[in-house]
Structure 1
Amino acid sequence: MARSSRMFEIIQLLRSAREPLTAQHLAKALEVTPRTVYRDVASLQAMRVPIEGAAGVGYVMRSGFDLPPLNFDVEEAEAITVGLSMIARTGDKALGRAAARAAAKISQATPLSETLLSSSWGAEAPNGIDLSDIRRAIREEEKLRIEYLDGDNAATQRIILPLSIIYYAEAIVLPAWCELRQDFRHFRADRLQRQPEPCGRFTGRSGTLRQQWAAHHARDL
């Protein structure tokens, strides 16, 4: 999470809290260290954000501080409700936590619907794989070294250029350019044998590769 986004999250958490929040509590919610929280809070205080408190005691937000409101009509709020609840189907736990944070932010400005529900049935989260790292690699155009078990249960090592993630109901699939095969391949997240490792960059190539993959994928439909 970028620092600016993290500081915005701190503001949101403190605005919605009914009691002081410790740095440890904030660090757990943001998946960072307490030291990072201390630095971010100090920076916010230096920018005159009305946060009071200290390390070891807890932080509170003085009343009266607000952010520009969001305005949604009823159907927009219902669409957001369903969309955020369906993220549970992806099996991506980090994405699910992000959806819950987003829902909390939106509900402060526009009440979300309590009449629309979505089943959480869907793809299983892959064991031992943090999909948030893969999503970050896609955004930052990082190559990944993977250990993969193919459909014949043969283990292979690949270097891939990850392009996107597709969340099917039955599985999570990672489209990528495979350097071993010199072609586009789809890798199932549940067949990754361990956490992929960054191994270089393909800066500036993702847009073109993604367009080529989309054309290639369309021919196969």
Structure 2
Amino acid sequence: MSKSSRLFEIIQMLRAAKGPLLAQQMADSLEVSKRTIYRDIASLQAMQTPIYGEAGIGYVMRKGYDLPPLNLDVDEAEAIAVGLSMIARTGDADLWRAAGRAARKLNEVAPGTRRLIASSWGLEDIQTIDLAALRRAIRAEQKIDLRYRDENGQATTRTIWPLALNYYVDTAMVVAWCELRADLRHFRLDRVQDWSVSDEHFTGEGSALLEQWEQTQKDDTVLTRGF
């Protein structure tokens, strides 16, 4: 766990606590040493976080304290984007509208999050492909070589330009430009037999292709919600 994540967790624990928390309690929860907690508390206090107390007695936080803005890395922003999209599963219209507002704000500072789309139903774990590596290839506009089996069981070797990743109820699907078909295609990840990230890139061409795909989806009847 990074220091910034640990500081966030300490603040959350102190905000939720009904009484003073000992450094040892926080250390056990975060799986770090008590000395690390002391240093983290000192860092937070130096940043004007209203934490009061001392070693051996425990620490408390002033009620009503709001968290300062947090800096998110790319993976954290993408995780939040997918989580916001999945709020559609709750059936709570107000919460869904709030999630939409939050997603638009997130997209302002992390535009790449619009490339991750989640359906309103669950998805089982995918074992056929490394999704983190696939997302990195999408961000880097890096080509992928794969051996793919279609719905009839026929296998072909493809080089694709990955543009977006869709999470559906039974699988995930990558939207890509296929060099073999010279067209936009959808590839179910559970039909990928083998794959590797190529050394070749399609730098600067991904956004236009993604917009082209988005245009084709406007009249699509698939019930998948996106922001």
* TM-score of the aligned structures, taking structure 2 as reference length: 0.49
Residues 141-152 of structure 1 aligned to structure 2 (within 5 Å): 141-152=141-152
Q: Does 1:11 align with 2:7?
A: yes
Specify the code of the residue in structure 1 equivalent to 2:9.
L
CA contact (8 A) 1:161 1:178 kept: yes
Inter-CA distance 186–68: structure 2 relative to 1 (3 Å threshold): same
Inter-CA distance 21–188: structure 2 relative to 1 (3 Å threshold): farther
- The match for 1:140 is 140
Inter-CA distance 13–151: structure 2 relative to 1 (3 Å threshold): same
Distance 2:60 2:198 in 1: 42
Q: Which runs of 5+ in 2 are unaligned?
A: 14-20, 49-58, 71-82, 91-119, 222-227
- The match for 2:171 is 171
Q: Secondary structure at the match of 1:11?
A: helix
Residues 42-191 of structure 1 aligned to structure 2 (within 5 Å): 67-68=67-68, 83-84=86-87, 86=89, 122-191=122-191
> How high is the sequence identity, in percent, across the aligned residues?
34
Structure 1 residue 69: deviation in Å? 6.6
Q: Secondary structure at the match of 2:173?
A: strand
Q: Which runs of 5+ in 1 are unaligned?
A: 1-5, 27-37, 51-60, 71-79, 88-119
Inter-CA distance 84–143: structure 2 relative to 1 (3 Å threshold): same
Distance 1:82 1:147 in 2: 30
Q: Secondary structure at the match of 2:193?
A: coil
Structure 1 residue 210: deviation in Å? 0.6
Of 125-134 and 61-70, deviating more is 61-70
- The match for 1:206 is 206
RMSD value, Cα: 4.4
Inter-CA distance 16–142: structure 2 relative to 1 (3 Å threshold): same
Structure 1 residue 213: deviation in Å? 1.7
* TM-score of the aligned structures, taking structure 1 as reference length: 0.50
- The match for 2:109 is none
Q: Secondary structure at the match of 1:193?
A: strand
Inter-CA distance 215–82: structure 2 relative to 1 (3 Å threshold): closer
CA contact (8 A) 1:171 1:189 kept: yes
How many equivalent residue pairs? Answer: 152
CA contact (8 A) 2:174 2:187 kept: yes
Distance 2:12 2:177 in 1: 43
